[in-house]
Structure 1
Amino acid sequence: MSNTDTTESQRKGSHGSHGPIGRHAIEAFALLGHKTRLEILLAIWKAHDLRADDNAVAFSQIRKRVEHDDPGNLRYHLEQLDGQFVRQQADRGGYELRVPAQQLIQTVIAGAGVHDEYLEPTDIDQQCPFCGAQTVMSYREGILFWACHECGGMTPGQDFASFDPPGPLTAHPFDPAGLDEWTPDELRAASTVVGRRRLRSAFDGVCPNCSSPVDSWFDWCPDHNSDGCDDCGLRFGTTAHFRCRTCDHHDGSTPKHLALFHPAVVSFYDNHGISTRVRADDFEHARRIYSLMLSHQVTVVEDDPIRVTVTASQDDEMIRLTFDETVRVVDVCR
């Protein structure tokens, strides 16, 4: 397996794994390490309107919702939150949430880290693109899986029993709150939307988790066998990788998929009456776009430094993108 991975020091960035960002995180957890302070944040969240010009919540309302017996002690906890999570609006006679607190509460509401949701493997109306078998959706530990239990999915050259679920086709982080809102077929389309959004952010150089810079590179398998490669174990021999320098978030994708983000490819398909947009409420179109992505041809045209082309064709016309070693498009040929 050849690769153009960045060094560990570059990947970690200037902060390192225990630098200023780590200290800031510890300080933030320390501020929230008291039940009353979390109750205060929730009390302000429930009482204010984010869309209103004046959404400050009075101390008396906070005290009523928190049901704290000691007003002096309650003010102390508010003072500890003031500045990082809460902003006191003296002219409005109350307190309002700062953006970090809003994001924290939205995460809690979404169910991340709170609900241990689980979805048993459930059949959906989509055949495996590689073996034609029935595919399933399942969910555990915050990840929504689309899989084929009859073949290796995206990992035909690896031990089938080593994956849970076996035969993974896609795996995307998915907040548990969304499980109750979609049918299994709709979950397939919804997970595509979520996965594309996160991948697009990484492809554009911004971590979808923490907004830090992302390093990107290609791995490729020179003697690849797509039916079950002993060298890389993967369905596709060329993989683009994206890794955050700060939080270490990592994502990988076939360049077949990345081509769908480029405006020239979007325009190319639009000229042929095909929209590359995917909506969670249009399962059939999500399925067509996935098939369209699989039809793209990937070629490693140079290996030092690596250059990768992706070619899309429709009605005897074609468009070709060339990616450099940093997974940036450096040429478009149509």
Structure 2
Amino acid sequence: MADRSGSEETGEQRGAKGSEAEVDSDAVAPTALFELLADETRLSIVRELAGVRRSNWQWAGLSFADLRRAVGVEDAGNFSYHLEKLRGPLVVKDGEEYHLRNRGMQLVSAVESGEYTGPGETVRGETEFDCPYPDCDRALEVAYDDQYCRIRCPDHHVFNGTAIPPVAADHLTASELLAVTMLDLREQVERARAGVCPNCWGPVDAALPSPAPSLPSMDDVGVPDDALLATFTCGRCPTSFDLPPGACVVDHPAVLAFYHDHGEDIRYRPYVALPFCSIGRADLESEEPVRVRVDVRLDDDTLHLWLDAETNVVEYERA
């Protein structure tokens, strides 16, 4: 994808805009932004401008006349009033055209996703994966309702889950929703391991072993209090979650290659369907420095991986 909008304020754009398009760089209160979009005309304006910019995210806009025509407002004075309300926080004027700022693009995407308009469709269906409990012969199922997608066993509990916008459930089957959910979950985990919160993009601290593991389902499944887990905590918002160490190596090149060599593709496979991601499948070999070993086994082949206190893979070896 072409990247033509790395910044709304490139040197060329600043020269072209002059004083007329100067924008107050101070932070905007969230309440002020939502109040702006409470009017249908203003929401239509940002939607139209977003449509123009979405072509390769280029810095593109519309003239006053073209924008008014696209929104469908006949009274020029009334349209000008609403457009001026958006100037600065969401819209800037570049020459004779009006452009939507990046924060406006984010808001429009949230509106189009259905996050603010309803719970969305309910989707349920069996998956091709079996419940990991030895005495259970039920297939795992994917269940989506109230903007949350869960991977669960009907006789046990939820294994994985994450928030998914309603628009996804409107056009995806249960199996497709499972694949998309797993992609989103893995992206969240990798972002957290990179030190960035998957929700607010604030700084995240990783701790392995977790000083106080608290998986929501620990009591339900009889997980011991001293279970070896990794904890990720955001320093800006309340986001905090625990993971088995194996979940931190799923997308490591050595693991993907290991499964590929055995003719298996795990890119869309749930964590619960990967044995090395289970609780109790990692060993703390050293505390100073921290070294946690995860063993990935297929047939008679084994891949050993060692993680440090920040969940980085510092060494791996194929036995």
The TM-score normalised by the length of structure 2 is: 0.74
Unaligned runs of 5+ in 1: 1-20, 152-166, 279-285
Asked if 2 retains the 8 angstrom alpha-carbon contact of 1:221 and 1:238, the reply is no
Q: 1:174: which partner in 2? A: 164
CA change 1:35–1:181 in 2 (3 A) is closer
CA change 1:75–1:226 in 2 (3 A) is closer
Which of 206, 222, 234 is 1:229 aligned to? 222
| Displacement after TM superposition at 1:184 (Å) | 1.6
Q: 2:316: which partner in 1? A: 332
DSSP 3-state at the match of 1:252: strand
Distance 1:59 1:227 in 2: 60
| Displacement after TM superposition at 1:110 (Å) | 1.3
Q: Does residue 108 of structure 1 match 2:111?
A: yes
Distance 1:126 1:201 in 2: 26
Give the number of aligned pairs. 285
Q: 1:156: which partner in 2? A: none
Distance 1:290 1:176 in 2: 26
| Displacement after TM superposition at 1:168 (Å) | 0.5
Matches for 1:1-334 after TM superposition, within 5 Å: 24-46=29-51, 50-51=55-56, 55-68=60-73, 70-90=75-95, 93-119=96-122, 121-130=124-133, 131-151=136-156, 167-218=157-208, 219=210, 228-229=221-222, 231-232=224-225, 237-278=227-268, 286=269, 290-291=273-274, 293-294=276-277, 297-302=281-286, 307-334=291-318
Alignment-mate amino acid for residue 292 of structure 2: V
| Displacement after TM superposition at 1:319 (Å) | 2.6
| Displacement after TM superposition at 1:271 (Å) | 4.1
Deviations 1:171-225 (Å, cap 9, x if unpaired)? 1111111112222233222211221122221122222233222111243789xx9
CA change 1:173–1:77 in 2 (3 A) is same
Alignment-mate amino acid for residue 119 of structure 2: D
Distance 2:172 2:120 in 1: 14
Alignment-mate amino acid for residue 229 of structure 1: G
Identity %: 27
CA change 1:149–1:212 in 2 (3 A) is same
Alignment-mate amino acid for residue 192 of structure 2: A
| Displacement after TM superposition at 1:310 (Å) | 0.7
Alignment-mate amino acid for residue 55 of structure 1: A
CA change 1:43–1:73 in 2 (3 A) is same
DSSP 3-state at the match of 1:205: coil
Distance 1:177 1:33 in 2: 21
Asked if 2 retains the 8 angstrom alpha-carbon contact of 1:299 and 1:309, the reply is yes
| Displacement after TM superposition at 1:297 (Å) | 3.2
Using CA pairs below 8 Å that are at least 6 residues apart, which structure has the higher relative contact order? 1
Asked if 1 retains the 8 angstrom alpha-carbon contact of 2:182 and 2:270, the reply is no
Asked if 2 retains the 8 angstrom alpha-carbon contact of 1:319 and 1:333, the reply is yes
| Displacement after TM superposition at 1:75 (Å) | 2.7
State the superposition RMSD in angstroms.
Answer: 3.5
